[in-house]
Amino acid sequence: MDASGGTPGRINSVNGENDAKPKVERVSMFSDNILQLWFDQQMNPADLLETQHFLVEETGEHPQLTDINPLDGTYVELHFDQGFGQGVVYTLIINGVANCIGNPIEADTRIQFGIPNEIAEGEILINEILFDPIAPGVDYVELYNNTDKTFDLSTLMLGVIRESFPNPADTTLKEITADSRLFLPQTYVLLSTNSEIVGYQYDCPTDNYVQMASFPSYANAGGTAILLSKSGTTVDAMYFSEKMHYPLLKVTKGVALERVSFDQPSMATDNWHSASERVHFGTPGQPNSMMQSTEPSQDEISISPEIFSPDGDGFEDACFINYRFDEAGYTMNIYIFNVAGQLIRHLAKGELVGQEGSVLWNGLDGNGNKIPVGVYVVVTEVFNFSGKVKQFKNAIIVGTR
């Protein structure tokens, strides 16, 4: 029988027709040598108490002992002789454990874990946001761990800052989770109030989703999404608005804004683009459809791709003007000309740039109109206060599919 005394709205705990294999739903570190696991089903207590069923791949260690909770058949606590090192991701291999009706876990199930670190600014990034869902959908925010560190999501708050002049800014913060939950390096996590419906609407797995008790209210008119540590550190923030969507989209309801580059500032509006129709206009919990993924060039200015088709189909809808200089501190202008020499768009206007980075062009002219298929010239000018002046010309082709 279920430890809660019943299973309203869930599969019965004694239903012999439930053939789903159990999975580990959540992992936490109680201390540097105690690992906590929660399964998605009621488990056989005798299996959980057998230390040989659990093995840390990197150290070859089994736990010294395991401990269970008689009131929660999904839980086991693993105690190890030695503490685990911070900054290392470990792999726990699980075999031989089954649920309460005898269905075993997948053989050689691998679960990663590590000691959580304190979170500094920029180490976790807001990577995608949906603020105008299709009913009965819900808002969501996706995070990306942009480090080699492990973090604990229970130390974070998700919020929104709304400004309505002349009133002072109004900030709302919501706890992501009251329970400890590890956030591993270079992974994504999706935050919403209804994991099931987000996964269904965007046709994607929900294993790395966190369902929050309540969510900030992200208005279509715009605001600032903010990620804050409970110690008061602003970890990341980005401005959002329905006006940031791709101008040629006729309908933006249900369309997420995706981050273009991890290397560009979160508050730069040109570092965000509407998700592709090819992925149902959102990639919750997964790499972005518009993410820049090109090999770095050794040239000071390079274009990628050199042929692109800005038609909203999710394939090479934008191009990137990449820069890589010998030093930081240049001021940059980027102009787009057609083959007749007419200025089509002044893309970057006196921007102070770092040593390397990218500027996105979505194939629109200065008035927000789609440009004709053809060959265009990108003219990039940079100068600094030491008197260095450089100019570059690159050809680019706007095509169609």
At residue 15, does pLDDT exceed 90? no
Q: What's the confidence (pLDDT) of residue 293? A: 55
With beta carbons less than 8 A apart as the criterion, state whether 248 and 152 touch: no
Average pLDDT over residues 161-180: 86
- pLDDT, residue 20, reads 87
Q: Can you say how many angstroms the Cα of residue 267 is from the centroid of all Cα atoms in its chain?
A: 16
Task: Take residue 284 and report the two structure tokens written for it.
Answer: 């919750």
Full set of structural domains in the chain with CATH? 24-113 (2.60.40.1220), 124-279 (2.60.40), 301-398 (2.60.40.4070)
Q: What's the CA angle centered on 334, arms 328 and 338, to 5 degrees?
A: 155
pLDDT at 268: 87
Q: Prior bond to 287 cis, omega within 30?
A: no
pLDDT at 369 (0 to 100): 87
pTM of the model: 0.81
pLDDT at 166: 64
Rounded to the nearest 10 degrees, how much is the dihedral formed by the CA atoms of 284, 144, 151, 56? 70
pLDDT band at 152 (very low <50, low <70, confident <90, very high): very high
8 Å CB contact between 111 and 24: yes
Q: Has residue 317 got a pLDDT over 90?
A: no
**Mean pLDDT confidence for 24-39:** 96
Q: Sorting pLDDT into bands at 50, 70 and 90, what band is 33?
A: very high
pLDDT of 386 above 90:
no
Q: What is residue 314's predicted lDDT score, i.e. its pLDDT?
A: 62
d(CA 95, CA 134): 42
Residue 91's pLDDT is: 98
Q: Which residues contact 380 (CB under 8 A, 6 or more apart)?
A: 301, 321, 323, 332, 333, 334, 335, 391, 392, 393, 394
Section 160-180 average pLDDT? 86
* Burial (0-12, 13-18, 19+ Cβ within 10 Å), 324: middle
Q: What is the pLDDT of residues 356-379, one digit of tens each?
A: 888 888 888 998 888 999 999 999
Instruction: Supply the pLDDT for residue 260.
Output: 87
Per-residue pLDDT at 211: 96
| pLDDT, tens digit (0-9, with 9 covering 90-100), for 214-232 | 999 999 999 999 999 999 9
Q: Computed from CA positions of residues 192, 206, 146, 331, in that sequence, does the dihedral angle turn out positive or negative?
A: negative
Q: What is the mean pLDDT of the chain?
A: 90
